[in-house]
Structure 1
Amino acid sequence: MLLTAFACVLLLAVLLSSLAHRTILSTAALFLVAGFVLGDGVLGVVSITPTDPLVSTLAELALFAVLFTDGMRVGWHDLRSAWRLPGRALGWGLPLTLAVTALGAHYLVGLGWIESLLVGAILAPTDPVFAAALVGNERVPPRLRQLLNVESGVNDGLALPFVILFLAMAAGSGDLHLGELGLELALGVLIGVAIPWLAIKLVQTRWFAASTLYEPLNALAIGLLVLAIAKATHGNLFLAAFCAGITVATFGQHQRESFEHFGELIAELFKLAALLVFGALITPALLGSVGWTGWLFAIGALVLARPIAIWVSFLRSGLSMREQAAVAWFGPKGFASVVYGLLVLGSGIAAAQQVFQLVAITIVASILLHSSTDIVVARGFDDEREVPAWYGRLRGRSNVSDRTAGRG
């Protein structure tokens, strides 16, 4: 039944995609709401529980695909050429957002410090999908669009080690072995760099060459090989995926370009499927059980944590107040946060349900608020607005009168 539901909602999303690009309708919001309506809390068409193996498997594959394609957007050359403003957002904004969010979770909701830091790490990454109208508007300053694109492409991977560390700590001090955790992370980085580099070097030799038909499958094969070896060696899958994407973008520009459209479609399918499952796990009982403090935390995470972090990070940066306000507001909690929340839900830690509830309502609020305001904010940068014909004629007469008076 889940496959049938996903196929139906996907078809509906395709049919409405043109309308979605022109209005506040959001494809992500459509899948989230569809999951909520079809889930056990409302219609009961899609019956799924947090312990269902499908949840963890889908979350794992979806996050791997998204981190791989995210990394492929930002090779080392891109980072070096456009690091000044994104560096502020990532170097200062990300940890500050994490810290302010953690303070809210601890003092408003009463979570322990480790669990609060875990919530902060989960909600720190941003997603440009819900700011598509802003990023895609050519009248928005290029530096602002570049800032949002680079930041959202990198911060998923940067937040990941913090999520892993705090999740391991929340599982219990007796189960936390920093040496093993460090080895897992290091092995993931090594796999993510070495395998793509070797594969690209093989293609560049005179003995091998990919046909035009199979070129898009080159990067896909690299990604699948990274996934398989990381699972076999117990390296961290997600760091391996992110590093592999960056390595392909750095050393295989041709592979990057040929895979770009194909890879985005694959990642998008995984994203939408995970959003449907995520929505099905959110029930009216869950939304009501968080209490007013939980909802206050969610609103604070959106309207205080990110804006405060961005304001501090961009002091004396040269950005105008309007640009800073746009960056501060468009820190939507997107797909990475969804999957991190699903991973926590299936982790078995004592506070898993409470952490998931806070993450869930914050993401729901973010999707609804950010996906419905991106067009409005983007139009604020539209300086060349159309004016009525009578105003143009009146302005023309005024200019003629001014020139005549000047000659007199």
Structure 2
Amino acid sequence: MDQYLLSITIIGAATTLMAWMPGFSKKTGISYSLLYVIAGVLLYLAVPQYLPDPLPDDNENLTLHLTELIVIISLMGTGIKIDRAFSFKSWSAPLKLIGITMLFCIAAAAVMGYYFLGLGIASATLLGAALAPTDPVLASDVQVGPPNDKEMSEVKFTLTSEAGLNDGVSFPFTWLAISIGLLLAGTKVSFVEWFAFDVLYRIAAGVVMGFLCGKAIGFILFRLSGQSGVVSTRDGFLAIAVTLLVYGLTEFACGYGFISVFICSITLRHYEKDHRYHQELHSFTDQIERLLLSLLMILFGGAIASGILKPITLPMFLFSAVFLLLIRPLSGRLALSKSNMSPKEKWAVGFFGIKGLGSIFYLSFAFSKFNFEYKDELWAIVSLTILLSIIIHGLSATTVMKKFKKTDQMQ
């Protein structure tokens, strides 16, 4: 059997079916991510010898850059569909989730990893940094709709904006884990420098670069294009081009590209808020994101079939379950204790701390910078947590969000 022909046939089938998957998920209440993972498991159990190696540890650069690509595309699409303009008051709920819930999840996972799982302190810190942020890629079922959507949901807005913000804000803690590892290996490390550069400067650079780029691109698209036909365009692919440009420029400036892309998308979205072109930009990013997601979920299923979960022990399983079902929901509920949402809404936000491809990126990135101990165990724990999240959240998100939609409409 020709491996190339089989691969392009599978890619064609997977991406063709993706055209109907969002509608299928709405009717059945089953996330299409779960279906693609199952498909990946079955394919790699049936004909593994004819398919590419799916294990991330065997394809470090490919894993790193594919997950990086889908996350930044997802961040651009996430920002474009948020109708609410930024202010500290109106965005207080997601900011609380970043400042309280995410930090608590990092600390709790690190402590459990060190004391309960027996990981080294650097590996335990990396585990917390990788698992704490919610994932913008796999969270489409709990996010707001396209630009200027009429549905109003505080739960969806909070989960959408949280997913957009925390992927970049958690990055300093990945660098913290790397710094701890280097220190224990005998390399001179300054934690003051880590805080000044990796926390303060890189976050600030990401915010500033994203804002400036968003303003500049908005000016070109909505002001200058009306004055000159030369720069007039309504091509949807520009959203992807802008994503790559802003991400690259910010990384060259040593800022966090994840933050920059999201801030850029929010700034661009509100330059001419009611313009129909935002729908075109969002539609294109959504389509590209879903195409990549279908392939990456098949590979993730293939990794499961190929043994990425072999190191899993009962304590590791308990860790993943406790993290998803206790630590995240309780810390989310605590962060929102004084918000105006109803108790049910607060618990829903806390519960849907979806884990996904962002966690795989953080592991891949950290492993590219330092040779961590317990590498196989970290891959297994993070993969198991993502799998459980896909199953638990993938089977409940659509149903739960429909109930909140009915409540919002009644109000």
TM-score with structure 1 setting the length: 0.78
- For residues 151 and 210 of structure 1, the distance between their equivalents in structure 2, rounded to whole angstroms, comes to 38
1:381 deviates by 5.4
Q: Residue 310 of structure 2 corresponds to which residue in structure 1?
A: 288
- Give the SS at the match of 1:372: helix
- For residues 14 and 155 of structure 1, the distance between their equivalents in structure 2, rounded to whole angstroms, comes to 29
Within-5 A mapping of 1:397-408: none
Which is greater in Rg? 1
1:170 matched to 2:181? The reply is yes
Q: Residue 200 of structure 1 corresponds to which residue in structure 2?
A: 218
- For residues 8 and 313 of structure 2, the distance between their equivalents in structure 1, rounded to whole angstroms, comes to 33
1:368 deviates by 0.7
Within-5 A mapping of 1:135-214: 142-172=153-183, 174=187, 178=194, 181=198, 188-203=206-221, 204-205=223-224, 207-209=227-229, 214=234
1:35 matched to 2:40? The reply is yes
From the superposition, tell whether residues 258 and 131 of structure 1 become closer, same or farther in structure 2 (CA, over 3 Å).
Answer: closer
From the superposition, tell whether residues 75 and 197 of structure 1 become closer, same or farther in structure 2 (CA, over 3 Å).
Answer: farther
Whether contact under 8 Å (1:344, 1:356) holds in the other structure is: no
- For residues 228 and 338 of structure 2, the distance between their equivalents in structure 1, rounded to whole angstroms, comes to 51
1:259 deviates by 1.0
User: Cα deviations across residues 332-390 of structure 1 (Å, max 9, x unaligned)?
Assistant: 21332243344345555223332222111000011011111224434665889xxxxxx
Q: Residue 361 of structure 1 corresponds to which residue in structure 2?
A: 384
1:105 deviates by 1.6
1:306 deviates by 0.7
User: Cα deviations across residues 117-157 of structure 1 (Å, max 9, x unaligned)?
Assistant: 22122212224745727967x9x983333322322332223
- Give the SS at the match of 1:229: helix
1:355 counterpart letter in structure 2: L
- Give the SS at the match of 1:14: coil
From the superposition, tell whether residues 94 and 209 of structure 1 become closer, same or farther in structure 2 (CA, over 3 Å).
Answer: farther
Whether contact under 8 Å (2:308, 2:379) holds in the other structure is: no
- For residues 175 and 84 of structure 2, the distance between their equivalents in structure 1, rounded to whole angstroms, comes to 24
Q: Which moved more, 1:107-116 or 1:292-301?
A: 107-116
Q: Residue 89 of structure 1 corresponds to which residue in structure 2?
A: 97
For structure 1, list consecutive stretches of 5 or more residues without a partner in the other structure: 385-408
1:322 matched to 2:331? The reply is no
From the superposition, tell whether residues 141 and 107 of structure 1 become closer, same or farther in structure 2 (CA, over 3 Å).
Answer: farther
User: Cα deviations across residues 39-87 of structure 1 (Å, max 9, x unaligned)?
Assistant: 4897344222434343222122222212233343458824446323333
- For residues 310 and 133 of structure 1, the distance between their equivalents in structure 2, rounded to whole angstroms, comes to 15
From the superposition, tell whether residues 124 and 184 of structure 1 become closer, same or farther in structure 2 (CA, over 3 Å).
Answer: closer
Whether contact under 8 Å (1:35, 1:278) holds in the other structure is: yes
Q: Residue 14 of structure 1 corresponds to which residue in structure 2?
A: 19
2:382 counterpart letter in structure 1: V
Whether contact under 8 Å (1:311, 1:328) holds in the other structure is: yes
Give the share of equivalent positions with the same residue, in percent.
Answer: 24
2:129 counterpart letter in structure 1: A
Within-5 A mapping of 1:342-381: 342-344=364-366, 346-351=368-373, 352-378=375-401
Q: Residue 67 of structure 1 corresponds to which residue in structure 2?
A: 75
